[in-house]
Amino acid sequence: MTLKVLEHEQGDWAVLQVCGEMDLMTSPAVRQHVHHAVAEGRRSLVLDLGEVRFCDSSGVGVLIAARRLMRSCRGRLRIVLPAQDAPEGSHVNRVLAALGVRRLFDVYPDLPSATAEATDPLSA
Q: Supply φ then ψ for residue 66, to 5 degrees.
A: -65, -40
Lowest mean pLDDT among 60-64, 80-84, 87-91, 96-100: 87-91
Angle at 90 between CA 15 and CA 71, to 5 degrees: 40
Q: How many CA atoms lie within 13 A of 90 on its CB side?
A: 6
Give every strand in the sheet of 3-10, ordered side by side. Answer: 3-10, 13-22, 44-55, 76-80, 106-108
Q: Average pLDDT of 49-69?
A: 95
Q: Specify the pLDDT at position 88.
A: 52
CA-to-CA distance for 3 and 10, rounded, in angstroms? 22
